[in-house]
């Protein structure tokens, strides 16, 4: 697909797609007429990028995650961990949005519960990283 088609189908501007390409988030090949041709799978990548951006991740963080995904053959467990972390980040963003509309008592209670559960989670993450 040419960039205009990708833009139309993804809902993004050609400028945004070009920026993602320059950052190395999207890959393409060249036609005989020197047009950039994107594979059909680029739409899935763009959707993935948008979800990660909605989870408040920077493009640099997204690039690192996508690089890890591409190393799937050499590190399948790492991809599994990354997918779980992405899911958790998305869930946390959703919960944060819900807490913004909660009463002060509900927020205080949620903060206490989260603090109690964070220690074991951080210990597990530390174990994964060592």
**pLDDT tens across 112-123, in order?**
888 888 888 788
Q: What share of the chain is helix, strand, coil (3-state, %, to 5)?
A: 70, 5, 25
Q: Output phi, psi for 114, to 5 deg.
A: -65, -45
Residue 127, pLDDT above cutoff 90 = no
Between 128 and 65, the higher pLDDT residue: 65
Give the pLDDT band (50/70/90) at residue 124: confident
Q: Give the model's pLDDT for residue 72.
A: 57
């Amino acid at each position: 697909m040419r960039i205009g088609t990708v833009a139309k189908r993804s809902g993004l501007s050609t400028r945004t797609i070009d920026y993602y390409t320059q950052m190395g988030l999207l890959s393409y090949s060249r036609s005989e007429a020197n047009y950039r041709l994107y594979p059909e799978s680029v739409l899935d990548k763009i959707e993935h990028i948008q979800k990660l951006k909605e989870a408040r991740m920077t493009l640099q963080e997204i690039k690192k995650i996508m690089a890890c995904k591409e190393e799937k053959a050499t590190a399948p467990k790492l991809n599994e961990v990354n997918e779980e972390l992405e899911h958790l980040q998305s869930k946390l963003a959703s919960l944060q949005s819900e807490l913004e509309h909660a009463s002060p008592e509900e927020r205080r209670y949620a903060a206490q519960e989260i603090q109690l559960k964070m220690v074991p989670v951080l210990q597990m993450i530390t174990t994964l990283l060592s």
